[in-house]
Chain A
């Protein structure tokens, strides 16, 4: 099974790297959006910078995850439909999307570092939160993108379906990242991280249950 999962990931990776522009375009997208933000805000600091970081990450992940299941009736979809179990496809997509969005998040962090000239106060805590938050975000988005496969306006629908559901994750990760940047003081940071992890697990279990319903019926 694990071999089959890695087979899907390998295939997705090949597809992505074959059109080399898509990766470069993704990087350029992040550079452009960060540049525009720092131009518009001028001097952006404090909690606003952290908030903007999470929002940019949110929309980046919408872009990256939205087409993870292809279009209904496309040949690629039918191919996967016949070859693999739904849970295998979900696991592969989750791993692949997680790697993509996490890489984008780290790159975004680097861009914010360059533009704002402020380094992270507690990098392990911030990056750990980033990983947990991205896990929750991509789990929700991957499941909802499997819902939008049959719909007309895919990425628009994905945003309105997924973003309200991401509010708890974003609230917790915003708070934890403010604490990690010493802008807010809270002693219960471990319980917040534990809660974020718990939410991720609930979302993962729900996705694994529901994907077999949405993907194959």
Chain B
């Protein structure tokens, strides 16, 4: 089949859009109050918990646990369901917890039922130190008591929430852009060796599509940044690095536009393309030494392959990269044919 990659790219993109938007998120704890409990030995402590994508009213056995640092669990006394995503829970917390230092440690909050499985908020609840009281009518449970429900859902992450789906667009577009730029550099090299104008046009069309992808990447990233970091544009160094790359490739277009002779234009733009690609690679290597980035993979944030990208995300993310890359090649192929036709028309 001649145009197999076009069909493949369309299929992949349909899959990415449908799966990327329709697969639900796993349940998660949005907020709870209060975040610090003062223990009263005579009374129970109350917590109000707001969650996301849970089904408290449909489930029969809603349980809330507090996990101690030594992996033992404290069970709730009573759970009051307010809505599908809201519940109130009372605990009886003993004043002396085993292996627990109130100054440093906090209790992890776990919400669980038989429909949604479990979800947790690490180091959530702090407990005020009330020393001298020795009441221990609680019994502790083992962590294996929590039941797990297997489901194909995207992970719930704090701050990110539903925008985790942008991974398939923002990140995948950047990957496709880099692949197109490498392809463009390859054709610049081929041009310098063979002086064939076909390679020059291929290189120019790939760079153009990469530039469009880069702008799309900046726009999607900017929206994501507004949601997660609070502003459209931060001083984040990766963002400004990508902006630099865009400036360089815009300059590449100005260079092409301002030289009229075809061969000279091809020669100069091939040299500038290779030169700027190497310089941008230097920038990629230099920049992490200077500032921490808000992006994953920098400054202690987990990178791709860490816990941010679990297998459910991978199942959509990798096809998205391939899909965008193939679509990029498709568009650049069309633009290449347009450039060839334009040249023929100009020659007549």
- CB pairs A–B below 8 angstroms (7 shown): A157-B251, A157-B258, A160-B250, A160-B251, A164-B251, A165-B248, A199-B286
The interface residues of chain A lying within 8 Å CB-to-CB of B290 are 171, 175
Q: Is B264 an interface residue (CB 8 A)?
A: yes
Question: In the complex, are the beta carbons of A171 and B287 less than 8 A apart?
Answer: yes
How far does the alpha carbon of A172 sit from the alpha carbon of B279 in the complex, in Å? 14
Kindly specify which of A55-63, A88-96, A100-108, A146-154 makes contact with the partner chain: A146-154
Q: Is B159 an interface residue (CB 8 A)?
A: no
Q: Which residues of A contact B (CB under 8 A)?
A: 140, 143-144, 147-148, 150-153, 157, 160-161, 164-165, 167-168, 171-172, 175, 192, 195, 199, 202-203, 206, 210, 213-214, 217
How far does the alpha carbon of A26 sit from the alpha carbon of B276 in the complex, in Å? 29
Give, as a whole number of angstroms, the nearest-CB distance from B302 to chain A.
25
Question: In the complex, are the beta carbons of B268 and A202 less than 8 A apart?
Answer: no
The interface residues of chain A lying within 8 Å CB-to-CB of B268 are 147, 150, 214
Q: Is B223 an interface residue (CB 8 A)?
A: no
Question: In the complex, are the beta carbons of A150 and B278 less than 8 A apart?
Answer: no
Q: Is B52 an interface residue (CB 8 A)?
A: no
A147-B255, A150-B259 as given contacts; A160 in contact with B247, CB under 8 Å: yes
A151-B255, A151-B259 as given contacts; A168 in contact with B282, CB under 8 Å: yes
Q: Is B48 an interface residue (CB 8 A)?
A: no
The interface residues of chain A lying within 8 Å CB-to-CB of B264 are 150
By CB atoms of chain A within 10 A, which of B247, B263, B264, B268 has the most?
B268
Extra pairs beyond A165-B279, A214-B271 (18, CB < 8 Å) = A140-B279, A144-B275, A147-B268, A151-B259, A152-B258, A153-B258, A157-B258, A160-B254, A161-B254, A161-B255, A167-B283, A168-B283, A168-B287, A172-B286, A199-B286, A202-B278, A206-B275, A213-B192
Interface size on B, residues (CB 8 A): 29
The interface residues of chain B lying within 8 Å CB-to-CB of A150 are 259, 261, 264, 268
Residue ID in chain B nearest A188 by CB atoms: B289
The interface residues of chain B lying within 8 Å CB-to-CB of A168 are 279, 282-283, 286-287
A175-B290, A210-B275 as given contacts; A202 in contact with B255, CB under 8 Å: no
Q: Is B335 an interface residue (CB 8 A)?
A: no
How far does the alpha carbon of A161 sit from the alpha carbon of B278 in the complex, in Å? 14
Q: Is B272 an interface residue (CB 8 A)?
A: yes
Question: In the complex, are the beta carbons of A164 and B286 less than 8 A apart?
Answer: no
By CB atoms of chain B within 10 A, which of A143, A151, A152, A195 has the most?
A151
Q: Is B267 an interface residue (CB 8 A)?
A: yes
Q: Mark B129-152, 1 if CB is under 8 A from A, else 0.
A: 000000000000000000000000
Q: Is B196 an interface residue (CB 8 A)?
A: no
Residue ID in chain B nearest A165 by CB atoms: B279
Q: Is B37 an interface residue (CB 8 A)?
A: no
Residue ID in chain B nearest A205 by CB atoms: B278
Question: In the complex, are the beta carbons of A167 and B244 less than 8 A apart?
Answer: yes
Give, as a whole number of angstroms, the nearest-CB distance from B55 to chain A.
51
